[in-house]
Structure 1
């Protein structure tokens, strides 16, 4: 549990860095990793960082993703495949409504989450810039692999694919981000970098379960207590 909690602190961009950083002669920042190799802190190509492409091919959720879990904050939700994913309880993410653990391979760590926040984000690009700024300021190493607009289940989302290293561990993240009238909702999933390629298909199935739907209705529990019996009067 401690290991998973630490990883989700990374997931929430609130982890502490522990690597040695330095500057090259031309002013670029590098980091010394645990295996004694050097990397540039940010290896993102400038064009990749500044441009957001548009993918015109519509994406539909997997037919095996049949179980709908609705957000309690915004009009969005996620369809998951209950044979491939299970929900787990996590308390370290204030924006996370549901956290998922992969059932594909018990020996492989793959975690995901549906997160939402009632924040006044104006555009998906604004959301991306806030997100990437937070990650870059905290990660020892960061690389944005891709960001593009997509149409997923009839809604416009921003797909983001990035890699990072912290405390000597390499991770790979992908996610879909969606703006609603009340804020935003996103589904993100990550694994160790070495496990990403072989599990990429199922990870995509998870994030492509994001849909627009009415938010979950929170029912107030009212306990009914019968009235107390009448008090007996004492006979004189």
Structure 2
């Protein structure tokens, strides 16, 4: 069912990444890790993970993080539609949802491994926020990879959360190293493989390119004892 939203703000997080805050005309009930569809036309509905947690204003505010470089019109057109709705000040931005089966299984009470590449961070951000707000105290390991450190737009926020919450471990990973970066380098999957001898006891949630999700499932199950039934990603519905 279409839900009309007022666009509260469109903020640049990096050169090509935007935070969009939506106020839907009716509360949206969803689970951490689900996504919504931005309705651009009757047969043109584009999926984006919900970055906010379900407990934020009881579904009366939704947050999206959209990577929208000029060479990616699929996403850029959605950002531009949000900007137009913001300028008009009406509820002309339309969504549907929630969608997706890769939501947080919080009742399982297993340690969590959250892995994101780029703006896939919005998927794990919802889960982390939800766990902290609901005082879910299982160990949480969040690995976030970007091509350059500028893509890790919430790096300082996550470092602060990890210091504040003893059950949270945050590992940022940068692919293109430069002299100012003092953290881990390489791919986010290589970092996970280096840090874990076994993943058999973990629930693993992954957001990024399809090829990354596919490689993670192969590597983690064959080399680290992970169970396919304990690995979740929207990509797995298509792989």
Q: Scaled by the length of structure 2, what TM-score is found?
A: 0.21
More strand by share: 1
Q: Scaled by the length of structure 1, what TM-score is found?
A: 0.21
More helix by share: 2
Q: Select the structure with the greater relative contact order (CA < 8 A; seq sep ≥ 6).
A: 1
